[in-house]
Amino acid sequence: MKILITGGCGFVGSNLAIYLKKKKFKVHSLDNLFRNGSKQNLLRLKNEGISNFKIDISLNSKIKKLPKFDLIIDACAEPSVNTYLNDIDRLFSTNLSGTLNILKKCVADNSKLIFLSTSRVYSLKYLNSLIKRKNLKKKIKPKKIFTDMKSPTIGAKSLYGFTKFASEELIKEFSYIKDLNYLINRFGVIAGPWQFGKVDQGFFSLWIWRHLTKQKLSYNGFGGNGFQIRDVIHIEDVCRLIYLQIKKINKIYNKSFIAGGGIRNALSLKDLTLISQKLTKNKIKISKNPNTSYYDVPYFVSSNKEIKKFYNWEPKKNIEEIANDIYSWQLNSFNIIKKYFN
């Protein structure tokens, strides 16, 4: 099977490309190398014999000239919720026109599509109702409140979430009228080696990096206490899931799933601080920024119930393993990755 991974030099795309290449698929990447660190990931792909089309996904004239693939895995996006502040045109051209171009290409070539979506497609009203803000003044234990495919998506969700949700709907339209076979996976926070984390995206790897390099951090939002909760999934568990989906793609298709770290892998920023301190043996200054941005949410834990039924899959790696893997990667690759973090 010949596979194209868009965003193939990003965190998810590069790890997935190398994983699938090891499973003997013919893998190619498409990436314009916009993201800081993508050039480094391109070198990793080259070492594995994976080539990259350096193309902007929003340019249909270029996308339609690409060779034919059996499957396109769309992992190309501007993934930060804060891009609305300064770069809305690029957000829409990458995340929405990009999806449209990939859909046209899939239809022209009769290729299947796996689309990486996000927990950000849910409405902010719903997400903000999961835990009362006033309760974030003190440490809370992750509760058994799960988000699943039935949770509400109507209403404001961030412009990033909007572009991903609109992409999901566009995929279903194409499937309906053009016979496209697709799978959509809504992932919560994904973490692991080769994620060049920033304040607004990839907090897990950023947190460990800042501890390792003894730099400052800040608890942003919800009073600045660091008690907001997320479930985190290891990139390897994501790759294993997509591999299972590819193997069953002729039997299970035209479905949307949610997948994440689940309750076992749910933690707060404060918990992550303790883990980072233990690993690096460093304590750093973490300031309090009490103001909550438009798009920060207090709590998110994915339900893996449905996806487990279909693929007999659930995440294997726990929080400690995720943190250990990131820490080992950052230590071992320190000199080549330091210029991509700040």
Ligand X SMILES: NC(=O)c1ccc[n+]([C@@H]2O[C@H](COP(=O)([O-])OP(=O)(O)OC[C@H]3O[C@@H](n4cnc5c(N)ncnc54)[C@H](O)[C@@H]3O)[C@@H](O)[C@H]2O)c1
Which residues bind to ligand X, rule: CB under 6 A?
Answer: 7, 9-13, 31-35, 38, 56-58, 75-79, 94, 98, 116, 118, 164, 187, 189-190
**Is the Cβ of residue 277 or residue 336 nearer to ligand X in the bound state?**
336
What is the gyration radius of the CA atoms in the chain, in angstroms?
19
State the CB neighbour count (10 A cutoff) for residue 110. 12
Nearer to ligand X, 38 or 303 (CB): 38
Which helix (H) or strand (E) segment holds residue 230: the answer is strand 229-234
Shortest Å distance, C-beta 191 to ligand X = 7
Joined tokens for residue 127: 């997400």
Closest to 206 (Cα-Cα) out of 221, 219, 217: 217
107 vs 175: CA distance, rounded Å: 9
- Closer CB to ligand X, residue 223 or residue 326? 326
Q: How far is the CB of 307 from ligand X (least distance, A)?
A: 14
Nearer to ligand X, 94 or 228 (CB): 94
Under 8 Å between Cβ of 117 and 187: yes
Q: Which is nearer to ligand X, 185 or 220 (CB)?
A: 185
Q: Which long-range contacts (CB under 8 A, 24 or more apart) does 169-176 make?
A: 170/96, 170/99, 170/100, 170/103, 171/99, 171/103, 171/113, 171/115, 174/103, 174/106, 174/107, 175/254
In the complex, least distance from residue 298 CB atom to ligand X, rounded to whole angstroms: 18
Amino acid at 224: G
Residue with the two structure tokens 């006033």: 134
Widest CA span in the chain: 57
Q: How near is the Cβ of 33 to ligand X at its closest, in Å?
A: 5
Taking the alpha carbons at both ends of the chain, their separation in whole angstroms is 39
Residue, CB closest to ligand X? 10
Which C-beta is closer to ligand X: that of 118 or that of 276? Answer: 118
Q: How far apart are CA 228 and CA 333, in angstroms?
A: 30
**Residue 118 Cβ, how far from ligand X at the closest point, in Å?**
4
Q: Cα separations (Å) of 270 from 28, 114, 155, 220, 224?
A: 39, 35, 30, 12, 10
Smallest gap from residue 280 Cβ to ligand X (A): 22
- Residue 259 or 275: the one with the smaller Cβ distance to ligand X is 259
Q: What's the closest the beta carbon of residue 160 comes to ligand X, in angstroms?
A: 8
Considering the complex, what minimum distance in angstroms separates the CB of residue 115 from ligand X? Answer: 8
Q: Which residue lies nearer to ligand X by CB, 198 or 210?
A: 198
DSSP-derived pairing of the beta strands 266-268 and 229-234: antiparallel
